[in-house]
Amino acid sequence: MIIIPMYICICNAVTERDVRECAQRGCCSLDELSVELGVGSGCGRCRPMASEILNESLSQAVAAAA
């Protein structure tokens, strides 16, 4: 089976997996994602989706810890 990455930020070639991994390492804001991965530093169209994935990842982490 071939897994095709879902690109969130085309400008900086950031995938959904990159955002989730960054959240696992402790990133908890869109500004931190921008610093770590460059998300939103180009055209900015990725910011809503990156934020959604980040929030989802953080929610999952909280639920797993409870």
Do the domain assignments include residue 5?
yes
pTM across the whole model: 0.87
pLDDT at 1: 79
Residue 58 falls within a domain, yes or no? yes
pLDDT in tens, 7-66: 999 999 999 999 999 999 999 999 999 999 999 999 999 999 999 999 999 998 888 877
Please report the pLDDT score of residue 3 as a whole number. 79
Going by C-alpha positions, the residue among 25, 31, 26 that lies closest to residue 50 is: 31
Overall number of domains in the chain:
1
**Domain around 1:** 1-13+43-66
Angle between helices 16-24 and 47-65 (to 10 degrees): 40
The predicted structure's pLDDT at residue 54:
95
pLDDT value for 9:
95
CA distance 9 to 17: 12
How wide is the angle at C-alpha 29 spanned by C-alphas 27 and 34, nearest 5°? 85
Report yes or no on 25 lying in a domain.
no
Q: Within a domain: residue 30?
A: no
